[in-house]
C-alpha cells in the first residue's frame, strides 16, 4: 500500500474532546508547566473566572471565591447558576451556551463558551455544580468524559456555579500553580470590575476606583511627574501619568480581558494621546517624545470583540460594535474632549506634562549622534564577529507557528556557548556569547548602551534599539554558570534589562536557565539533579556507590547532555515583578553602594558549598 494513500479511509471526524486534546494550543496557547504567567494552566483558571465575571457584569453576584493549591482549582461564584437542565451540555458540547444571545451578554469576555469545554477536556478531573432556587445539579468528568451526574437535589446555598478542576498531568507535564501569577490575574479583575470582591485563598481583593487604583499600585515606589489623570466614559476608562523610567509601561484590557499583546485599542490610545497633546500645546511633538516614560492603563468595552487567538491576548476588532464607529475614532474622540478639558482645568498638570515632553525631546536629540555611530559599529562588527549564532524563525515572523518558541540564550565563554550552540534547535534557538563580565550599568544613562560594545551588539541581536515591537525572540534566557562568577554575570545582565528595557521583564520575556548541579549514575542509569535534595534521592535510588559529578560550569556539560536541558522539558525560571515591586528599589538594593541591608542579607544567607556537601553526604550515610 502506498504511504501517500488518500481516500475515504483517511478522513476522520473528531468529537469535541478529542479535538481539544489533540490541538490544545488552538484553545489555550502554549502549554508550559506554570513557570510563566501565560502558561496554559493559568488560561484554564481565567476561562472559568471569565464566566463568573460575566455574571457580575450582568448584575448578578458581588463576590467570587477562588481556592488554588499547587495542583487543584476551585471557583465558586454567586451569579444565577447554569440552568439545571443544561449543566452537562454547557461544559461538554461545542456551540452550546448563552453568549450567542447578545442581549444576555452584550459585552462579555468570551463569545461562544468554548473556554469551559476546553478546561473540561484538558483536566484529569473536572466537576461542575449549579445551584438555582434551592436546587442543585452536579456533574463529574474524568479526562473530559462524563463519569457521574446527580440532581436536581435540594440545596440550601446561594445561587451560583462552582467548578473544581485538576489539569491533566499527561498534557501539562510537571505543572505547578504559582500564587504570585494568580494574584496578579485576580488583581486585574478587581481593577476592571469595581465593587466586585474576589477571595483568593481567603484573602479579599477589591477595588473602588478601577484603573486609578491599578496605576496607584504600579507607581507606589515611582516618582511620577504629575498626579495620575483618570478619565472615564461609557465604554472606556483610562489612567496615565509620566515617570522617569525608560520605555513605555502600558496595560491594556478589553471587556475585562488583559490584552498583554495590545491590539487596536492600545494602538488607538497611543495615537490619541499624541494627537490631543499636539493640539493642546499647538506643537508638532515627535510621537516618542510624548509617550516616553508614560505609565498608562486603558480599558475598552466592545460589543462582540474579535481577538487574534482563543487566548484573547490581542484585540483585532476594528469597530466598537458590528454596526458602530471604529475603535480608532471612538478613542480619539474621547481623548479630544476629555483630556483636552482636563488639561485646561488643571494648568499645573499641563505644565508638568509639557516639561516631561520637552525633557524627552532634549534627551532624544542628545542621543541622535551616539545612536548613529553605534548602528555603524554594530553593522561593521556583524560582518566579522561570532557573538550571535542566529536561528531561522523569529518572533517577528507573525504567521509562523513556532514564533512563540523562539529563544535567545545569553551565555559567557567559548565552552558554554559552544555546547549550547551544538545542542540547540537551529530553527528556534539562538545563542549570544558574552566576552567576560558585562559592565555594571547601575545609575548610568542609556547612552552607555550604545557606547558599550557588548550592550550595543546585544540590543541589536534582539532588535530592540528603536522599539520593543521589533523584538526577535520571545524568550531571553540567561544561561550562566552556577558559581559566584556566574551569579555575578547574571546580576549584571538583570541590571541591564531592568534599568533600560523594563518592559521586556514586565511582559514576561526574561528567564534564567536552570541546569543540573549534579549527575548521579551507575552502569544502568543516569539521573540529573538540580538540587542537593535531588542528589540525595538519586544516590538512595541508585544505591551501590554511584558515580557523582558536580557541574561547576556549563562548559563541563557535553553538547549531547545539553540537548536534554534545552529541549521540550527545559527548566526556566521566569524573572517576574510581583505586587508592589519597585525596579528602582531592587536595583538600589542589589547594585547600589554596599548598604547595611545587603550586608546583613549576605551574612544571614551565606552557606558554603563545602558545608552543603558534607551535610548531604552525612544524611545519605
In whole numbers, what is the pLDDT of the chain averaged over residues?
83
Q: What is the mean pLDDT of residues 548-562?
A: 82
Helix (H, G, I), strand (E, B) or coil at 128: strand
Same-domain pairing of 230 and 196: no
Same-domain pairing of 255 and 134: no
Total tally of structural domains belonging to the chain = 3
581 — pLDDT class (breaks 50, 70, 90): low
Which of the listed residues 184, 205, 226 is the one where a domain comes to its end? Answer: 205
Check residue 165 and give its pLDDT.
95
192-207, pLDDT tens digit by residue? 999 999 999 999 999 9
Most confident of 43-52, 113-122, 299-308, 383-392: 43-52
Choose the weakest-confidence range: 175-189, 254-268, 488-502. Answer: 254-268
Same-domain pairing of 449 and 581: yes
Same-domain pairing of 390 and 360: no
> What is the 8-class DSSP label of residue 509?
-
Q: Is residue 333 part of a domain?
A: yes
CATH code for the domain of 484: 3.40.50.670
Q: What is the dihedral of CA 461, 467, 472, 474, to 10 degrees?
A: 120
Check residue 615 and give its pLDDT.
39
Helix (H, G, I), strand (E, B) or coil at 363: helix
Same-domain pairing of 304 and 404: no
Q: Is residue 299 part of a domain?
A: yes
Check residue 254 and give its pLDDT.
87
506-533, pLDDT tens digit by residue? 878 999 988 888 889 988 899 988 888 8
Most confident of 252-266, 383-397, 571-585: 252-266
CATH code for the domain of 342: 3.30.230.10
Check residue 102 and give its pLDDT.
47
Q: What is the mean pLDDT of residues 298-316?
A: 77
Same-domain pairing of 273 and 290: yes
Residue 104 neighbours by CB distance under 10 Å: 12
Pick from 313, 319, 274: which is nearest to 301 by CA?
319
Q: What is the mean pLDDT of residues 141-160?
A: 91
Check residue 209 and give its pLDDT.
94
Q: Is residue 540 part of a domain?
A: no
The DSSP bridge pattern shows strands 229-232 and 160-167 to be unpaired
pLDDT(149) > 80: yes
Same-domain pairing of 576 and 484: yes
Q: Is residue 549 part of a domain?
A: no
Which of the listed residues 205, 239, 272 is the one where a domain comes to its end? Answer: 205
Same-domain pairing of 112 and 196: yes
Q: What is the mean pLDDT of residues 425-434?
A: 91
Check residue 349 and give its pLDDT.
95
553 — pLDDT class (breaks 50, 70, 90): confident
Choose the weakest-confidence range: 118-132, 329-343, 440-454. Answer: 440-454
Same-domain pairing of 56 and 165: yes
Check residue 432 and give its pLDDT.
92
d(CA 255, CA 69): 28
pLDDT(6) > 80: no
pLDDT(1) > 70: no
Same-domain pairing of 25 and 170: yes
- Classify 151 in phi/psi space as left (phi over 0), alpha (psi -120 to 50) or beta: left
CATH code for the domain of 43: 3.30.565.10
Q: Is residue 536 part of a domain?
A: no
Choose the weakest-confidence range: 110-119, 495-504, 596-605. Answer: 596-605
pLDDT(504) > 80: yes
pLDDT(311) > 90: no
Domain that holds residue 81: 16-205
Q: In the chain, pLDDT over 70 holds for what percent of residues? A: 86
Same-domain pairing of 75 and 183: yes
* pTM, to two decimals: 0.73
Helices (H), 296-410: 327-345, 347-382
238-297, pLDDT tens digit by residue? 999 999 887 788 888 988 888 877 788 888 899 999 999 999 999 999 998 999 889 999
Q: Which residues lie closer than 8 Å to 374 by C-beta, 6 or more apart?
A: 450, 451, 456, 465
Pick from 254, 239, 243, 201: which is nearest to 221 by CA?
243
pLDDT(619) > 50: no
Check residue 602 and give its pLDDT.
58
Same-domain pairing of 313 and 391: no
Which of the listed residues 174, 205, 236 is the one where a domain comes to its end? Answer: 205
62 — pLDDT class (breaks 50, 70, 90): very high
Q: What is the mean pLDDT of residues 552-574?
A: 81
Amino acid at each position: 500500500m502506498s504511504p501517500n494513500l488518500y481516500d475515504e479511509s483517511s478522513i476522520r471526524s473528531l468529537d469535541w474532546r478529542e479535538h481539544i486534546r489533540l490541538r490544545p494550543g488552538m484553545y489555550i496557547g502554549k502549554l508550559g508547566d506554570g513557570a510563566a504567567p501565560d502558561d496554559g494552566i493559568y488560561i484554564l483558571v481565567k476561562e472559568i473566572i471569565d464566566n463568573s465575571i460575566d455574571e457580575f457584569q450582568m448584575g448578578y453576584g458581588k463576590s467570587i471565591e477562588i481556592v488554588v493549591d499547587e495542583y487543584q482549582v476551585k471557583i465558586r461564584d454567586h451569579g444565577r447558576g447554569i440552568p439545571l437542565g443544561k449543566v452537562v451540555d454547557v461544559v461538554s458540547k461545542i456551540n452550546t451556551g448563552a453568549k450567542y444571545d447578545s442581549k444576555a451578554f452584550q459585552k462579555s469576555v468570551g463569545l461562544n463558551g468554548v473556554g469551559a469545554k476546553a478546561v473540561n477536556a484538558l483536566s484529569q478531573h473536572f466537576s461542575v455544580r449549579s445551584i438555582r432556587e434551592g436546587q442543585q445539579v452536579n456533574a463529574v468528568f474524568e479526562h473530559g468524559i462524563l463519569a457521574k451526574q446527580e440532581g436536581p437535589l435540594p440545596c440550601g446555598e446561594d445561587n451560583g456555579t462552582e467548578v473544581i478542576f485538576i489539569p491533566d498531568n499527561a498534557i501539562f507535564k510537571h505543572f505547578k500553580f504559582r500564587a504570585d501569577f494568580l494574584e496578579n490575574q485576580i488583581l486585574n479583575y478587581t481593577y476592571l470590575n469595581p465593587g466586585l470582591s474576589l477571595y483568593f485563598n481567603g484573602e479579599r481583593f477589591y477595588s473602588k476606583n478601577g484603573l486609578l487604583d491599578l496605576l496607584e499600585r504600579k507607581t507606589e515606589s515611582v516618582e511620577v511627574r504629575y498626579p495620575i489623570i483618570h478619565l472615564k466614559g461609557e465604554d472606556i476608562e483610562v489612567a496615565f501619568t509620566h515617570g522617569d523610567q525608560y520605555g513605555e509601561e502600558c496595560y491594556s484590557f478589553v471587556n475585562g480581558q488583559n490584552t498583554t499583546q495590545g491590539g487596536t485599542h492600545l494602538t488607538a490610545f497611543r495615537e490619541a494621546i499624541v494627537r490631543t497633546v499636539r493640539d493642546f500645546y499647538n506643537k508638532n511633538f515627535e510621537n516618542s517624545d510624548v509617550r516616553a516614560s508614560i505609565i498608562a492603563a486603558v480599558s475598552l468595552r466592545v460589543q462582540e470583540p474579535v481577538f487574534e487567538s482563543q487566548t484573547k491576548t490581542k484585540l483585532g476588532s476594528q469597530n466598537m460594535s458590528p454596526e458602530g464607529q471604529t475603535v480608532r475614532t471612538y478613542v480619539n474622540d474621547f481623548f479630544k474632549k476629555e483630556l483636552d478639558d482636563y488639561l485646561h482645568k488643571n494648568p499645573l498638570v499641563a505644565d508638568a506634562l509639557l516639561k516631561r515632553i520637552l525633557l524627552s525631546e532634549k534627551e532624544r536629540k542628545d542621543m541622535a549622534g551616539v545612536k548613529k555611530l553605534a548602528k555603524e559599529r554594530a553593522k561593521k562588527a556583524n560582518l566579522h564577529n561570532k557573538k550571535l549564532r542566529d536561528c531561522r524563525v523569529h518572533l517577528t515572523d507573525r504567521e509562523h507557528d513556532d514564533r512563540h518558541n523562539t529563544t535567545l540564550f545569553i551565555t559567557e565563554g567559548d565552552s558554554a556557548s559552544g555546547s549550547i550552540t551544538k545542542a540547540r534547535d537551529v530553527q528556534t534557538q539562538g545563542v549570544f556569547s558574552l566576552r567576560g563580565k558585562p559592565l555594571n550599568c547601575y545609575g548610568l544613562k542609556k547612552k552607555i548602551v550604545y557606547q558599550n560594545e557588548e550592550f550595543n551588539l546585544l540590543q541589536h541581536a534582539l532588535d530592540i534599539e528603536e522599539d520593543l515591537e521589533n523584538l526577535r525572540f520571545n524568550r531571553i534566557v540567561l544561561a550562566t554558570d552556577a558559581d559566584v562568577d556566574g551569579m555575578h554575570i547574571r546580576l549584571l545582565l538583570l541590571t541591564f534589562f531592568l534599568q533600560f528595557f523594563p518592559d521586556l521583564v514586565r511582559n514576561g520575556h526574561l528567564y534564567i536557565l536552570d541546569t543540573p548541579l549534579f549527575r548521579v549514575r551507575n552502569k544502568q542509569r543516569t539521573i540529573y539533579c538540580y538540587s542537593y535534595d535531588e542528589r540525595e534521592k538519586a544516590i538512595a535510588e541508585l544505591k551501590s556507590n554511584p558515580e557523582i559529578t558536580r557541574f561547576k560550569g556549563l562548559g563541563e556539560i557535553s553538547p549531547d547532555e545539553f540537548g536534554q536541558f534545552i529541549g521540550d522539558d527545559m527548566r526556566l525560571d521566569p524573572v517576574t515583578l510581583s505586587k508592589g515591586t519597585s525596579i528602582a528599589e531592587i536595583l538600589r538594593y542589589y547594585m547600589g553602594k554596599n548598604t547595611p541591608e545587603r550586608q546583613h542579607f549576605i551574612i544571614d544567607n551565606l552557606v558554603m558549598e563545602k558545608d552543603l556537601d558534607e551535610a548531604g553526604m552525612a544524611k545519605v550515610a
